Chain A
Amino acid sequence: MIELTSASATAFVAQAVSVFDVGDGFVVPLLLKLVFILAMFFVVPILGGYLEHKVMGRMQDRRGPVEAGPFGSLQLVADGIKFIQKEDVIPRAADPWVFAMAPGVALVPVLLVLLVIPIGPGVFALDLELGLFYALAISSISTLGILMGGWASANKFSLLGGLRAAGQLIAYELPLILAAAAVALQAGTLSLVGIVEAQATFLIPGTDINLWYLFPQLLGFGIFFLAAMAELARPPFDMPIADSELVFGYMTEYTGIKFAMFLLTEYAGMIVMGGLIAVLYLGGWQLLPGVPLPGCEGAGGIFDCGWQGQLLGVAVTLGKMMLIVFLFVWARVTYPRLREDQLQRMAWLVLVPLALLNLAVITVAKVVF
């Protein structure tokens, strides 16, 4: 059964065409895609940041931003303008080139991952056959930027923060990849579009009930979620920043626009991880399992959508991303910070074995059914 569905999914992937592939030209679709990615990159993290401000405010018995724009929604824009105006300080003892490059090295990979994340039926910039592999590989380059920043700052707090970040990100890359591998295995494809489509056609063996991968891979979802949180250095795994211990970790010496770039890395990273989780486990742009979106009942199957269906699909994906961001924020508000050694112990002794178990179970299930 699964062989059949995954075969049909791969067949569909071969034909998957982005809405941006208009006409036969090369330049126009490319420009459209770049504009789309940049818009995603600047707007969606601000949405996520605004959500964080407001949710944290509510949970902490305060109001969050209220002054800038309607309901304080432009607070992050105002913050961005403020950061641009700030003096850009490079410490005398710092290595100026590495110091200046670090925020860029951290930020750009996040932007590149956005290329392959499908956020609606046909709404994606690129459908790589190795999409998942690409996303995970590229996103780990960010670590390099953080390590560079920590090392080049010539500040002991930064150095400690940078080294903590490196250790933490290496430790959590493994469970993240193992959990994602189980999804790729079940879907039979590494293409992110293909994974969404495989979820739409995945049926519980012996029945005709359609389910997202969240349910067969609940364990994998938990591992991926925790590892993503550690990957992003979000509390309770924010030891690289640890403001009460290391002042601000690897960001201590950064000011102005460079600091803003590190902050944007964090917010955009949340969005990217939210997008990956939505695609891998939550059925991508589907509103409910097994139910096609309105306007998506065309001849090409349930993903042959009109523009209404595409818009709705984008909204659904964004909603799922925001749900994940909400969970990140909830964890931040609730928990104290773990210690670095406790974190490593959790990665190597708990998450990695569990992720291997998950992978083994999925493999066996795939062969048996």
Chain B
Amino acid sequence: MSELSTRERIHPGTAPGEDYHLEIVGEGDFATADMTLSIGPAHPATHGVFRIVLEMDGERVRSARPVIGYMHRGFEKLAEYRDYRQIMALVNRHDWLSGFSNELGVALAVEQLMEFEVPDRAQWIRMLMAEWNRVLNHLMFVGSFALELGAITPMFYAFREREDIQHMMEAATGGRLHFTYNQVGGVKIDLPKGFLRTSAELTTITRKRLVDYRDLILGNEIFQARTKGVGALPTDVALSFGVTGPTLQATGLPEDSRVTEPYLKYGEIDVPVPVGENGDAFDRFFCLLGRIEASLDIIDQVLDHIGPGPVNSKLPKMVKAPEGATYVRTENPLGQLGYWLESDGGRTPWRLKMRTPSFSNVQAIPYLLEGVLVPDAVAVLGSVFFVVGDIDR
């Protein structure tokens, strides 16, 4: 009737030459064939162009294979053709939900190569902004995870909070997502008048609203039934995949480079690290909410410490990092972000290697998806927090 070959009829969506198989499962009249289901690259649960190929027996996933690279933009190569000022505007785009934290990593790396001491106020401002950025990022995932489980309302609540915070950050940086506020030697300009007061107010408001999330999501019986015991990740497996951030903390390991290897002024303040018990989707979400609260605590402490002073330093018009190499790791919202910066003394890096948290976190997905049902697969995908741009770069 149609020109489709048998292969295309059985596996619409598989490209010619792509391997597939029809395996017969079970015996007698109950024998069934496996079905290959390609979720993505454009699917609501992948929020981006991420593809995952599931081999399924009915609704049960037998094996999962993530296919990445649909959003590869060549960031590492692009960085080799840009000077350090331009790189700031580049790196805040690979994980678009943590723009400021990405910039921070590059700035720290260059400053480390130059053995440059950044003024105190600039360091506090960087911490303040990084934590607000973390709150923004986590709120997004609070909303999107609930959405993946079918609860539509938390998304709108999260965006209400995000809007307030973004409005405040826009006043300081001019950007809502890509702040480009860092520069080598400090931050671009000082905070606008009233910023610290708004910050203090927003921590109170956000903390008050977090109670709603706890009641609406964490306390909900259906949410608990959907997430408890789903996609449990043991600590050793998580470590072997290089999983970091809330996903690792949910397994019970209080690993956070703000604590274990403090940068900026994190050593001078108290950084709470929430941990889970079982490493399942529920614990991951619990840690995510806990990290928002921790960030708000840190912001309150920063507001106590921040004092007057210069926010940047006099540097030559064209910043050149001296010859050498360094590795800087920071605790990004989604996990550990590492930049390996190698310079030959020129105005651009000779090599900028990125170790992004999303890339490492999605490595655990095939392990987590084996044997779960399709609805649980979505719960797992939503709770291993990742940004597609951060996977592919």
Q: What separation, in Å, do the CA atoms of A326 and B81 have in the docked complex?
A: 58
* Number of residues of chain B lying within 8 A (CB) of chain A: 35
Q: Decide: A247 and B44 in contact? CB cutoff 8 A.
A: yes
Are A342 and B225 in contact, CB atoms less than 8 angstroms apart?
A: yes
Partner of B9, one of A93, A157, A236, A238: A93
- Given A337-B222, A338-B222, A342-B225 in contact, is the A242-B153 Cβ separation under 8 Å? no
A335: chain B residues at CB < 8 Å are 150-151, 220, 222
Given contacts A93-B2, A335-B222, A339-B373, contact A154 B12 (CB under 8 A): yes
B373 x A336 contact (CB < 8 A): no
Which residues of chain A are near B373, meaning CB under 8 Å? 339-341
A332 at the interface (CB under 8 A from B): yes
State whether B375 touches A339 (Cβ < 8 A): yes
Q: Is A59 an interface residue (CB 8 A)?
A: yes
Instruction: Give the interface SS of chain B, mostly helix, strand, loop or mixed.
Output: helix
Say yes or no: is A314 at the interface (Cβ < 8 Å to chain B): no
Within 8 A of A (CB), among B215-237: 216-217, 220, 222-223, 225-226
Chain B contacts for A297, CB-based, 8 A: none
Q: Which residue of A lies closest to B2 (CB)?
A: A92
Instruction: Name B375's contact: one of A155, A332, A340 (CB within 8 Å).
Output: A340
A310 to B: closest C-beta gap in Å: 39
Question: Does B149 count as interface, using CB distance less than 8 angstroms?
Answer: yes
CB proximity of B231 to chain A, nearest CB, Å: 13
Q: Do A332 and B152 contact each other (CB < 8 Å), given the known contacts A156-B37, A244-B44, A244-B378?
A: yes
> Which residue on B lies nearest to A94, using beta carbons?
B2
Known: A92-B4, A244-B148, A336-B151. A160 touches B374 (CB 8 A): yes
CB distance from A161 to the nearest CB of B (A): 11
A309 and B153 CA atoms in complex are apart in Å by 41
Query: Smallest Cβ distance from B385 to chain A, in angstroms?
Result: 15
Residue of A whose beta carbon sits closest to that of B149: A336
With a cutoff of 8 Å between Cβ atoms, the chain B residues found around residue A332 in the complex are 152
Nearest Cβ in chain A — how far from B381, in angstroms?
9
Closest chain-A Cβ to B156's Cβ sits at a distance in Å of 4
**Contacts A60-B156, A93-B9, A244-B44 hold; do A336 and B222 have CB atoms under 8 A apart?**
yes
Most buried by B among A238, A335, A341: A335
**Do residues A245 and B378 form an inter-chain contact, with CB atoms below 8 A?**
yes
Per-residue CB contact flags for chain A residues 223-252 toward chain B (1 = under 8 Å, else 0) read: 000000000000110110011111100000
The total number of A-B Cβ pairs within 8 Å is 89
The docked-state distance in angstroms from the alpha carbon of A337 to that of B152 is 10
Q: How close is A79's CB to chain B, nearest CB, in angstroms?
A: 18
Q: Which of B1-35 contact A (CB under 8 A)?
A: 2, 4, 9, 12, 35
C-beta contact mask, A22-63 vs B, less than 8 Å → 1, else 0? 000000000000000000000000000000000010011110
**Which residue of chain B has its CB nearest to the CB of A239?**
B375
Q: Flag B167-200 by CB within 8 Å of A: 1 or 0 each.
A: 0000000000000000000000000000000000
Contact call A244/B45, Cβ cutoff below 8 A: yes
Q: Does A174 count as interface, using CB distance less than 8 angstroms?
A: no
> In whole Å, how far is B222's beta carbon from the nearest beta carbon of chain A?
5
Q: Cβ of B213 < 8 Å from any Cβ of A?
A: no
Q: CB within 8 Å of B: which of A273-309?
A: none
Min distance, Cβ B83 to any Cβ of chain A, angstroms:
42
Taking the closest CB of chain B, its distance from the CB of A276, in whole angstroms, is 25
Q: Is A334 an interface residue (CB 8 A)?
A: yes
Let me know if B265 is at the binding interface, CB within 8 A.
no
Residues of A within 8 A of B45 (CB): 244-245
Chain A proximity of B162: nearest CB distance (Å): 12
**Nearest residue, chain A, Cβ from B150:** A337
B2 with A244: CB separation less than 8 A: no
7 contacts between A and B (CB under 8 A): A92-B4, A93-B9, A93-B12, A245-B377, A335-B220, A336-B150, A340-B373
Query: A residues engaging B (CB < 8 A)?
Result: 56, 59-62, 92-93, 154-157, 160, 235-236, 238-239, 242-247, 332-342
Enumerate chain B interface residues (CB-CB to A < 8 A): 2, 4, 9, 12, 35, 37, 43-45, 59, 146-153, 156-157, 160, 216-217, 220, 222-223, 225-226, 373-378, 382
A-B pairs, 3 with minimum CB distance: A337-B150, A336-B151, A336-B149
